[in-house]
Amino acid sequence: MRRSARPFAALVAALTLTAGLFAAGAPASARDSDASTAAQASDVSLAADTYDWKNVRIDGGGFVPGIVFNRTEKNLAYARTDIGGAYRWDQSGKQWKPLLDWVDWDHWGWTGVVSLASDSVDPDKVYAAVGTYTNDWDPTNGAVLRSSDRGATWKASTLPFKLGGNMPGRGMGERLAVDPNKNSVLYLGAPSGNGLWRSTDSGATWSEVTAFPNPGNYSQDPTDTSGYGNDNQGIVWVTFDERSGSAGSATQDIYVGVADKDNTVYRSTDGGTTWSRIAGQPTGYLAHKGVLDSDNGYLYLTLSDTGGPYDGGKGQIWRYTTATGEWKDVSPVAEADTYYGFSGLTVDRQHPGTVMATAYSSWWPDTQIFRSTDSGATWTQAWDYTSYPNRSNRFTQDVSSVPWLTWGANPTPPETTPKLGWMTEALEIDPFDSNRMMYGTGATIYGTENLTNWDSGSQFKITPMVKGLEETAVNDLASPPSGAPLLSALGDIGGFRHTDLDAVPDMMFTSPNLTSTTSLDFAESSPNTVVRVGSADAAPHIGFSTDNGSNWFQGSEPSGVTGGGTVAAAADASGFVWSPEGTGVHHTTGYGSSWSASTGIPQGATVESDRKNPKKFYGYKAGTFYVSTDGGATFTAKASSGLPTEGNVRFKAVPGTEGDIWLAGGATTGAYGLWHSTDSGATFTKLSGVGEADSVGFGKAAAGASYQTLFVSAKIGGVRGIFRSTDAGTSWTRINDDAHQWGWTGAAITGDPRVFGRVYVSTNGRGIMYGDSSDSDGGGTDPGTDPGTDPGTDPGTDPGTDPGDAACSVTYKVTNQWSGGFQADVTLTNTGSAELDGWKLAWTFPDGQKVGQAWNATVDQDGAKVTATNVSWNGRLAPGASAGFGFTGTLTGGNTAPGAFSLGGEACATG
């Protein structure tokens, strides 16, 4: 559970990212013109490979501050995360589908989602207000993203200010709302004193509502000078009373919540022309939510003395009767008895008068959920005390699908494990199903499908409803040559031993439990020995394992340690070197029973071990490389000329070869790139073709290759991406694509020493991505050979052959084009006499176009050749039936349409 604000400061303060914004109106997945120009100018040999990308399953792991159900279409729901993007609910698989994986490196802040809005008039439309920080930690302004295909593709409207998906108050909302009567009208509540904003053209353009009188004045910590705690939390929610409008006419009565304890609710009764503070409203609190039960005309407020999401010491719930103007305190407990604030708030659209709320900031002994079936006159609780400390629960809880949610804890009553949660600011009853309710926590989404058991006196069942939503921030990754294929170091939930990449691990690392693991390592020739370090409320900050991470024991630590820092294990497990926060570099020859200070290396240096010589360790700080040949006791400064003196720098030694080191990092204001040393850091050579690099790792060598496969998160040939080289950096293959970018990926990357081509990629909020190459045996075109020359069989048949009596026809239409990119729609029609049971359409682009994001088909590209394969629901085409799909693409020159298409090796007619 996220106990800290996780401001990302240590990383971002050292990073300078290019802030080239997408043009308003262009599909947000399109590359901007500057990037396209840079790619054209590249002299680097870039091949292409088709990768299959998946999440390493953890299920959840971060704060879910918002869940939004569409009010007019059943089973259409969205979830937002503070740093990990947005998701759409897939009812068929009862899982979440990510919607913002296309967000690129330069716009990593757009993975923080401030608010979501689903259009009840046109359910295909969905909007997301994005931006992670309102201060200079985030280099780009916020934006409102809009989609007309449920998040399959997006267009972006950049705002003249920043938004804060990971700022204090991020659980309040929703700040973004669509007029339920005239859906071209939207409102957005802005932070930082920027007021209330409105769009009248379905989110394409925005302007400030200058008549709105109060931009807010509350900040979490006015004494904070960083721009984080002292930011004005601003306008925090917008709610329409749909009864005051009609289809096609703007809603007249609009309610707005403001971060101002004396003036927290405003109303317009003339469609947003004028605004006034509602008289008689409660004061001394912030209204986290404002939800209207339109059937009986009650506006409910959940109030807290702070903006959340983890603080809050007092709270109330109030009800406003819109017809009479009466305010009534309907709090389920007396204010004096609260030690928490209220936030989560929902009404049952099928049963007017049923309302629920959460005590979002009640960490101990558990959160509380309240329910009323008489409009707040009386309430019951999810759990009650019988005789303290014993509890009586109205629910049962089953976390077998995500077992780590018990945290491996064995608490003393009244605390239980698993808990109902904490930071429970998102709470929604399905508007079509009174039995289904979902709520977000700091670690997961919980839900139930038999909620009304609450009212009948029997227990309702709570389970995780989080499959597909991956929201961990990844700090380090390791793939040992034996044992588990992957070990992870994660923010907030420590990390895991992943024995099955496609299954949720049983438990995070324990003994000790580290809130965030900052670094881990294994002994190269004895991979059962693993060490990890990280953050903790108190000592210890280090743990050791002798069984490949299955079980752990605590180590002692030097005095003065305040945080994890970095750690390295000797190649033969004979010793360890640790560079913790709070004190200098230390070394030990045991399992941390005693530590001795290292000399010759500065405090705060990053440390790594040689992967062959057990006595050799390396360090780096501020442009100087350090080497120890005595197990970390003494270090000597080595190379410094030309290495980066600022920015984040990560380096690794190649397994099996002494002194072979790759170093990545830097900043755009100085040296930045990828360097290689073969003499233990005495000298480094910069790779000329790599413009920027941030992490480097190694994997199994390609067939016939003598050198391990390199993987980097880098900018090569003017293109940001994940790259692979099988010839020690001479040539590179970009292995991700524009639909799989995941924002910032600079913390860690590693290949798998047992599976050629497999790579594990860190993200900051989308968990661990792993990719497998179609070139699984290490042969094929990588590196360097033109992938377009592979004769193949599919789509190798020349689509330009005479279609003759073709059993298919294709129409191809460019529907939109902008500088550097375009959007196209394709329709495939079965003109034969037999049903098609699955289809794969092939064509060749004549001008080097590249497919980015696709919808309604799975599109793969190999050089100029493209194949589009049906998805599960449109594969069967009866004679005369058609299937349509589309995609966005990038341009480096012209955009001539493909001249021919083939289906299963047979040419299609075109028209």
344 vs 379: CA distance, rounded Å: 15
Q: DSSP code of 80?
A: E
How big is the chain, counted in residues? Answer: 911
206 phi and psi, to 5 degrees? -135, 145
Catalytic residue among 231, 293, 430, 492: 492
DSSP 570-636: -TTSS-EEEEEETS--EEESSSSSS-EE-BSS-TT-EEEE-SS-TT-EEEEETTEEEEESSTTSB-E
CB-CB neighbours of 593 under 10 Å = 9
798 noted as active-site residue = no
624 vs 376: CA distance, rounded Å: 65
With vertex at residue 392, the alpha carbon angle to CA 387 and CA 397, rounded to the nearest 5 degrees, is: 145
Spell out the residues 6+ positions from residue 737 whose beta carbon is closer than 8 angstroms to its own: 721, 850, 851, 852, 861
Tokens read off for 858 = 């799975």
Q: DSSP code of 748?
A: -
760 vs 326: CA distance, rounded Å: 58
Tally: H helices and E strands in the chain: 3, 70
With vertex at residue 77, the alpha carbon angle to CA 870 and CA 851, rounded to the nearest 5 degrees, is: 35
Alpha-carbon distances of 635 from 569, 574, 597, 602, 618, rounded to whole Å: 16, 18, 11, 10, 8
Q: Dihedral of the CA atoms 46, 48, 51, 53 (nearest 10)?
A: 50
Alpha-carbon distances of 235 from 172, 191, 260, 307, 554, rounded to whole Å: 10, 6, 9, 12, 47
384 phi and psi, to 5 degrees? -135, 155
Handedness of CA 25, 236, 174, 419 (dihedral sign): positive
Asked whether the beta carbons of 577 and 586 are under 8 A apart, the reply is yes
Alpha-carbon distances of 367 from 253, 359, 364, 408, rounded to whole Å: 34, 6, 7, 19
| 3-state secondary structure (DSSP) of residue 453 | helix
| 3-state secondary structure (DSSP) of residue 676 | strand
Alpha helices, H only, 443-586: 453-456
N- to C-terminal Cα separation, the chain? 56
H or E element, residue 382: none
Tokens read off for 68 = 């939004």
106 noted as active-site residue = no
Alpha-carbon distances of 385 from 357, 376, 394, 499, 579, rounded to whole Å: 19, 21, 11, 40, 47
97 vs 147: CA distance, rounded Å: 15
Bridge partners of 88? 78, 97
User: 3-state DSSP helix/strand/coil percent for the chain, to nearest 5?
Assistant: 5, 40, 60
> Which has the closest alpha carbon to 165: 256, 85, 68?
85
Catalytic residue among 32, 49, 59, 82: 82
253 vs 239: CA distance, rounded Å: 9
| Upper half-sphere CA count for residue 4 (Cβ side, 13 Å) | 13
166 vs 168: CA distance, rounded Å: 7
In one-letter notation, the amino acid at residue 555 is G
Which residues are identified as catalytic? 82, 492
